[in-house]
Structure 1
Amino acid sequence: MILWSSTAVIVFTILFFKDAPYGRFNTSDHAFQIPSRFGWIFMESPAVLGVLFCFYFFYDLIGMPQTLMCLIWLSHYLHRTLIWPLRAELHGRKMPLKIALLAFVFNTINIIIQCLWIFFLGNYLEEWITSGFFMLGCFIFYIGMYVNIYSDNILMNLRKTKGNGYHIPEGFLFKYVSCPNYLGEIIEWLGWAILTLSPAGLVFFIWTFSNLVPRAKANHQWAIDRIENYPKGRKSVFPFLY
């Protein structure tokens, strides 16, 4: 866990100085490009398949708390793995194969860590589902999921109504930050860390923070540099702070 967390800190530092080459930062300089839609489904798939595998083969080892944790996990990753890539305007877009492979490896390692805790190490009693930590964590998780999906919907509708290219999103938390979708996902995994009250959940939250905060900073600066009249008062990801 310590090594995995330390790796997240290293990634956090690197991403502050070098943008990950996907999305708006992808260029034709990167060889071996694959369709973005396929890439997203491929790289997120371990998070779904790993939980389903463990749930099928080790169901007898768990109780209601672990079952609910699996369902909460799947509520995010079924959306991230299937619904979002199929809804997003990704036709004709590419991503570097190495990005998809690195994300696939990360998701594989992460789901192993999460499942080891949920199915074998957690030892949650049935009363856990009525505990303050579990209920608070669930509330925070689904607040974050709402923020994430609602923000994504604003971006998707913007492209549908105004066409390809980048347009300034308005309303909701876009009034305060450039990347409320990233903020929502950070909130989600904070909720996960609380509802599981586990080192596995904490490490995943650290990884999410380390990946998305630098990405939000890069997206925010990209918009300021390239879009005329972009709202200067917006922050990158945390309202009024950063």
Structure 2
Amino acid sequence: MQCYGNLVDYLSCGILLAGLGHLVLHRTAQASYGRHMAASPSGRTMPARLAWFLQEMPALVVPLLLLQFSHDSSAVGRLLVLKTFCLHYFQRTFVYSLLTRGRPLPVGVVAAAGFFCLLNGFLQSHYLLHCAHFDDEWAAGYRCNTGLLLFYVGMAINIHSDCILRNLRRPKELVYRIPTGGLFEYVSGANYLGEIVEWLGYAMATWSLPTLSFAVFSLFFIGPRAYYHHRFYKEKFKEYPKSRKALIPFVF
């Protein structure tokens, strides 16, 4: 398959604009799911496990499908980076979604998230399989290795933080408690910090517009959510640690 460079550029810019638009539109309130959803939502909802499975799955399925049509023997480096992307979404689709104890999600939110994962899954996999050019110096370079290290560190933080949050609840329980342990000792959005670090590392490893656009989108989408989570905790729990920040330890 040939590289559709113009399409890659358009989709990358579209994801950047979508992230910026979300940041502007949700500067005073967050998307209506999880703790920020109304007690009695007006629209239809679906169970959290099914919702997360359906919305995350396209970002895994699309790269795997495109891989079936790629026969470039020189794509070892590109496949390495794409596998990191797929690893994240394998964990989100088959581990996180099946273990989550969250609240039901609005169908509209699930549909929008699934559509984004579909487009982004195509963008990242098409770019890496058919457009990117990585030589031997890239694979041995500090940028690639530092980026991949950041990705795996961020993924470990994200998974560990999700585990802490999940264990705060018993099955079928929907209460909120103060998370402790890990990076939650320093920030309220430790799980979000981990995911942001993941995608910043991913962008650093490839140093490209498509990967950068996704990293920026993630920052603009879940960064503010960490802030609102922090405000939620401080309003709900008088004993909430005053030294704890929202997203960046000791800073913000």
Residue 189 of structure 1 corresponds to: 199
Q: 1:119 aligns with which of 103, 119, 129?
A: 129
CA RMSD of aligned residues (A): 1.7
CA contact (8 A) 1:63 1:126 kept: no
Deviation, 1:207, is 0.4
Runs of 4+ in 1 over 6 A off after TM superposition: none
> Helix, strand or coil: the match of 1:158?
coil
**Alignment deviations for residues 1-57 of structure 1 (CA, whole Å, 9 cap, x no partner):** 334312211111222212111111122233121111111111111110011011111
Residue 177 of structure 1 corresponds to: 187
User: TM-score with structure 1 length normalisation?
Assistant: 0.93
Q: Does 1:4 align with 2:48?
A: no
- Where in structure 1 are there 5+ consecutive unaligned residues? none
Q: Measure, in 1, the Cα distance between the counterparts of 2:13 and 2:180.
A: 40
**Alignment deviations for residues 70-93 of structure 1 (CA, whole Å, 9 cap, x no partner):** 221121111111101111224xx3
Q: 1:55 aligns with which of 67, 72, 75?
A: 67
Q: Measure, in 2, the Cα distance between the counterparts of 1:221 and 1:75.
A: 32
Q: 2:98 aligns with which of 86, 98, 102?
A: 86
User: TM-score with structure 2 length normalisation?
Assistant: 0.89
CA contact (8 A) 1:155 1:169 kept: yes
Q: Does 1:65 align with 2:91?
A: no
Deviation, 1:160, is 3.9
Question: Identity of counterpart residues, as a percentage?
Answer: 32
Q: 2:212 aligns with which of 199, 202, 207?
A: 202
Q: Measure, in 2, the Cα distance between the counterparts of 1:61 and 1:107.
A: 27
Q: Does 1:34 align with 2:46?
A: yes
- Where in structure 2 are there 5+ consecutive unaligned residues? 1-11
Q: Measure, in 1, the Cα distance between the counterparts of 2:128 and 2:73.
A: 10
Q: Measure, in 2, the Cα distance between the counterparts of 1:29 and 1:126.
A: 53
